[in-house]
Structure 1
């Protein structure tokens, strides 16, 4: 008898539906429980209640708020071990994992399989 896999919980912050194609891919390809918020001021409280296994933030829509949000997650004793992926369309030297204190940086457009592989790697560690 095959054991049922537990759903991985993903919290996605997206102010203007810019990541909706990623949500569609996640729902299509995996066993995910996805919570989407469009309010950067509420994302920390939502994460505390939802207790995600992974957090995805859209840098393009958040600008410098993204770095603050990542720092808040990494400073909190309950949330600091949750991997954070920042997604961006910018390809400059200023945009790096170190700047945001995130666990992975995904520059779009890239193949969804690359993002899925990063997600699996972060969730396995």
Structure 2
């Protein structure tokens, strides 16, 4: 029998490799099982398979609306309780956290200590 992993699973959608430094920092701040996808059309299916403890989305998904991706998760009975963090470089988008249906929104450049603290809080809730 294989032992169950106690690591928290984080699923990250990074459309154009803009979040690679964030991923490195996340690994530095905690011992997480990080799953990365570059395809916004595949993130929902990947989430169904790995059942993540947290999802981090790059706001700028180009051909896919970030709010729609968030809504897909919140409409799914299996995934609706998974917290979602949206990362953006657009300061004007900060007020739209509620419209994304996400649990937190961070504007780049990121304060990694604050992000790590929020990640821990959301995964503990």
Task: State TM-score, norm by structure 1.
Answer: 0.90
Q: How far did residue 45 of structure 1 move?
A: 0.2
After superposition, give the CA deviation of every residue in 1:42-93 in whole Å (9 maximum; x if it has no partner). 0000000011000000002347611000000000000000000000011115
Aligned partner of 1:81 in structure 2 is: 81
Equivalences for residues 54-69 of structure 1 within 5 A: 54-62=54-62, 65-69=65-69
Listed as ranges, the gaps of 5+ residues in structure 2 are none
Supply the distance in 1 between the matched residues of 2:95 and 2:62 (Cα, whole angstroms): 13
Summarize the Cα distance change of 1:63–1:118 in structure 2 as closer, same or farther, 3 Å threshold. farther
Q: How far did residue 123 of structure 1 move?
A: 1.0
Aligned partner of 2:25 in structure 1 is: 25
Supply the distance in 1 between the matched residues of 2:107 and 2:93 (Cα, whole angstroms): 12
Listed as ranges, the gaps of 5+ residues in structure 1 are none
Give yes or no for contact 1:52–1:82 (8 Å, CA) kept in 2: yes
Give yes or no for contact 1:6–1:31 (8 Å, CA) kept in 2: no
Summarize the Cα distance change of 1:52–1:93 in structure 2 as closer, same or farther, 3 Å threshold. closer
Q: What is the SS of the residue equivalent to 1:96?
A: helix
Summarize the Cα distance change of 1:32–1:58 in structure 2 as closer, same or farther, 3 Å threshold. same
Give yes or no for contact 2:37–2:43 (8 Å, CA) kept in 1: yes
Aligned partner of 2:122 in structure 1 is: 122
Q: What is the SS of the residue equivalent to 2:77?
A: coil
Q: How far did residue 111 of structure 1 move?
A: 1.5
Give yes or no for contact 2:55–2:85 (8 Å, CA) kept in 1: yes
Please, what is the CA RMSD of the aligned residues?
1.7
Summarize the Cα distance change of 1:62–1:117 in structure 2 as closer, same or farther, 3 Å threshold. farther
